[in-house]
């Protein structure tokens, strides 16, 4: 990925002799044996942790993992990620089996690292409980939020805790700074033409994004299942494709607003349709607005790949959120692969590309193109809410 050259406040802070509470996002996938299957989020946090250690500080790491209900559960224990964290960090990591026991934090020496047990084992975390946040804050002299993936949550460790530190002692880590810089570059200061690629299955989940983007972009490339709600709203036949008839008025309203504002909406003229939602289904290429009964659109067609590619190669800023097909099945992955390659090629030619978290990041990784993009976000919900124009509690807590 393109390296950010900016100097951030964390670069100039003197951590010598200080205990630093760092909110990281170690909510990573585990297999049945408790082994980390994707260490992307852990790797992302390493530079911030190393910056603290290299300048003479000690680090107290806190995170959540999964959605435990009503207290501790072994399958959600952060103890399981210790081997991966120690390997990536290159140093031993102590573990506090109770995040409310501050003894281990108080005994930390410069250069040492402590990982607290899953914050969500306590109800106070998600409730944004002030006493819970105050207890966590008491462990350190400095607070760093480096968990962009949870920045949209007003939880104790992501927003409330900052109130217990002086303004100069609360900072963003490199992940947070990089995310905010990349998103601001796209949403506030984009080089033009600026195209957004919006995929996903339902219009209903992307209304706010589409509405907000209409005021900022020159074009929106629409793919994924939401395509068929638009096609049907315009009078097309979509067979058994995913479709939201209740969203027809909204889809038509978006089409009208785009036309009024001179924003070009681009749809694939053809669709790779299947007779079942299975990996071994029969397929055929059909017009996107004339899908036979009993068939459903699961990917863009060859003409769509060519149209999308030609358009994207002419853009200087590209925001991509949502695959354009069911990329998890090889038979329906070629459209998303073609789009990913087009974005990568546009980036090579000088465009700035921001890849949305979640499925889109997984899609790009599946095709081995992560390093060809300008920035791949680690946050799913947080990124979407920021694009929608919402204030993120975890960001506001540091900036206020």
Task: Decide if pLDDT at 2 tops 50.
Answer: no
Cα 87 to chain centroid, rounded: 24
Task: Decide if pLDDT at 319 tops 80.
Answer: yes
**In the prediction, which pLDDT does 1 show?**
43
Same domain, 174 and 29: yes
Same domain, 16 and 147: yes
CATH number at residue 135: 3.40.50.1260
Residue 371 DSSP SS3: helix
Same domain, 121 and 143: yes
Residue 322 maps to a domain: yes
Residue 109 maps to a domain: yes
Range of the domain at 64: 9-179+393-399
Q: Is 87 a catalytic residue?
A: no
Same domain, 60 and 121: yes
Residue 240 maps to a domain: yes
Residue 194 DSSP SS3: strand
Dist. CA 133–CA 272, nearest whole Å = 51
pLDDT band at residue 194 using 50, 70 and 90 as cut-offs: very high
Q: How many domains does the chain have?
A: 2
Same domain, 335 and 233: yes
- Catalytic residue of the set 79, 134, 185, 202: 202
**In the prediction, which pLDDT does 105 show?**
94
Of 45 and 209, the structure prediction assigns the larger pLDDT to 45
- Catalytic residue of the set 23, 41, 51, 206: 41
* pTM to 2 decimal places: 0.85
For residue 299, the cross-strand partners are 272
Q: Is 304 a catalytic residue?
A: no
Same domain, 143 and 228: no
Count of helix runs (H) and strand runs (E) in the chain: 15, 17
Same domain, 31 and 171: yes
**In the prediction, which pLDDT does 125 show?**
96
Dist. CA 24–CA 357, nearest whole Å = 16
**In the prediction, which pLDDT does 6 show?**
66
**343-369 pLDDT, tens per residue?**
999 999 999 999 986 789 889 999 999
Q: Is 381 a catalytic residue?
A: yes
- Catalytic residue of the set 223, 358, 379, 394: 358
Q: Is 41 a catalytic residue?
A: yes
Q: What is the dihedral of CA 100, 101, 103, 104, to 10 degrees?
A: -90
Residue 187 maps to a domain: no
Percent of the chain predicted with pLDDT > 70: 98
Residue 361 maps to a domain: no
Among 102-106, 272-276, 302-306, which stretch is predicted with the lowest mean pLDDT? 102-106
Dist. CA 68–CA 22, nearest whole Å = 21
pLDDT band at residue 219 using 50, 70 and 90 as cut-offs: very high
Same domain, 296 and 325: yes
Dist. CA 233–CA 222, nearest whole Å = 14
Cα 378 to chain centroid, rounded: 4
Same domain, 139 and 211: no
pLDDT band at residue 384 using 50, 70 and 90 as cut-offs: confident
Residue 218 maps to a domain: yes
Same domain, 203 and 281: yes
Strands (E), the chain: 19-23, 58-62, 94-96, 113-116, 142-145, 170-172, 194-198, 219-222, 237-238, 264-267, 270-274, 283-287, 290-291, 296-300, 317-321, 352-355, 375-376
Dist. CA 343–CA 309, nearest whole Å = 8
Residue 374 maps to a domain: no
Same domain, 225 and 148: no
Same domain, 301 and 222: yes
Residue 356 maps to a domain: no
């Amino acid at each position: 990925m393109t390296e950010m050259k900016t100097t951030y406040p964390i670069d100039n802070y003197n951590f010598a002799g200080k205990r630093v509470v760092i909110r990281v996002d170690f909510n990573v996938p585990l297999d049945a044996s408790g082994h980390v299957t994707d260490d992307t989020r852990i790797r992302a946090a390493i530079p911030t942790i190393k910056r603290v250690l290299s300048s003479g500080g000690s680090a107290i790491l806190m995170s959540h993992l999964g959605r435990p209900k009503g207290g501790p559960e072994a399958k959600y224990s952060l103890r399981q990620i210790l081997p991966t964290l120690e390997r990536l960090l290159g140093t031993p990591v102590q573990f506090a089996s109770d995040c409310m026991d501050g003894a281990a934090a108080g005994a930390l020496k410069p250069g040492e690292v402590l990982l607290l047990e899953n914050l969500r084992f306590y109800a106070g975390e998600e409730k944004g409980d002030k006493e819970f946040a105050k207890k966590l804050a008491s462990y350190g002299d400095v607070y760093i939020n480096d968990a962009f993936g949870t920045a949209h949550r007003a939880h104790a460790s992501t927003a409330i805790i900052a109130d217990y530190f002086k303004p100069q002692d609360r900072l963003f880590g490199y992940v947070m700074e990089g995310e905010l810089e990349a998103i601001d570059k796209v949403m506030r200061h984009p080089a033009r033409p600026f195209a957004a690629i919006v995929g996903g299955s339902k219009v209903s989940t992307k209304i706010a994004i589409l509405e907000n983007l209409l005021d900022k972009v020159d074009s929106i490339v629409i793919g994924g299942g939401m395509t068929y709600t638009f096609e049907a709203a315009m009078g097309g036949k979509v067979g058994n494709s995913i479709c939201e008839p209740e969203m027809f008025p909204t889809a038509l309203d978006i089409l009208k607003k785009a036309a009024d504002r001179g924003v070009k909406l681009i749809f694939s003229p053809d669709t790779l349709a299947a007779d079942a939602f299975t990996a071994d289904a029969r397929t055929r290429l059909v017009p996107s607005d004339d899908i036979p009964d009993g068939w459903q659109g699961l990917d863009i067609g060859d003409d769509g790949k060519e149209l999308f590619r030609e358009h994207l190669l002419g853009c200087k800023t590209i925001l991509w959120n949502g695959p354009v097909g069911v990329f998890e099945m090889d038979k329906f992955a070629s459209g998303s692969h073609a789009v990913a390659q087009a974005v990568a090629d546009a980036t090579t030619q000088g465009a700035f590309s921001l890849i949305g978290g979640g499925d889109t990041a997984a899609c790009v990784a599946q095709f081995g193109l992560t390093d060809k993009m300008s920035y791949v976000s680690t946050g799913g919900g947080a990124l979407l809410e920021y694009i929608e124009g919402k204030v993120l509690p975890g960001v506001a807590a540091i900036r206020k």
